Amino acid sequence: MVLLVLIHFMISGYMHHIPETRFLRRTLPLSPPGHLEKKTAKMKLLTLNFLTCAVKTCKSSSDSFPLHPKDAELASDDVEVNPELLVNLLPRLDWKALKTTSAELGFPQLPDSPPTIEQLQSDDKLLKDLHSLLMETNLMEGKLVCGVCGHEYAVREGIPNFLLPSHLV
């Protein structure tokens, strides 16, 4: 019972916490080859559509996906819009998870179901929103929180760390 209350507290604790998101544009100047500088790594937001909690027992629950960004610091790249790429990418995405991630980070609300090719080609705003979200947005710092166990995976300098402390392995 105590455990249940604890779990409930951990989940509701972050659910009610609105992530403080800072949106930085173009903060990553390219460095010349030969220098391993800090902050060259970036985590494309799209990565979240493929990641889940690393704790074995969480995987069977649908709440372990997607992970919830917390205290996220984002950075944006300038990438040329490529409608063909989006058309091939959409069928393989978990749209519901993408919609959740997008809303949690304060992006414009996505429609309930993925757009068709025709809709993408005729709706310029939707195309640009999706392009910006999927192709241009990177997570640089913050945490990724599991909706089941509440474990927080740190993202530092664009690299998420999914190694578990030994008691959770």
Partner 1 sequence: MLPTPSTSHVPYTLVYEPAEDSFLLLDTLSSPTSLTFHTSHFPPSSPTPLVLEIGPGSGVVLAFLTAHANHIFSRPDILTLGIDINSFACASTAKTVSLASQDHPTTSGEFLSAVQGDLTSCLRGRQVDVLVFNPPYVPTEDLPALPERLREKKEGKVTFEEESKLLELSYAGGKDGMETTDRVIDSLGDVLSERGVAYLLLCAGNKPEVVKQRIREMDNAGEGRRWKAETVGTSGRQAGWEKLQIVRIWRE
Residues forming the site for partner 1 (CB under 8 A): 30, 33-36, 40-44, 46-47, 49-54, 56, 59, 65, 82, 84-85, 88-89, 91-92, 94, 135, 153, 156-166, 169
Strands 22-25 and 43-44 come out as: unpaired
* Shortest reach from residue 34's CB to partner 1, in Å: 5
Please compute, for residue 12, the number of CA atoms within 13 A of its CA located in the half-sphere on the CB side: 6
Give 3 or 165: the residue with its C-beta nearer to partner 1: 165
Is residue 66 within 8 A of residue 100, CB to CB? The reply is yes
* Shortest reach from residue 1's CB to partner 1, in Å: 30
* Shortest reach from residue 69's CB to partner 1, in Å: 14
* Shortest reach from residue 11's CB to partner 1, in Å: 20
Q: Which residues pair with 75 in a beta bridge?
A: 24, 138
How far apart are the C-alpha atoms of 69 and 60, rounded to whole Å?
21
- CA-based angle 23:26:30, to the nearest 5? 140
Give 67 or 110: the residue with its C-beta nearer to partner 1: 67
Give 3 or 84: the residue with its C-beta nearer to partner 1: 84
How far apart are the C-alpha atoms of 8 and 152, rounded to whole Å?
15
Give 94 or 104: the residue with its C-beta nearer to partner 1: 94
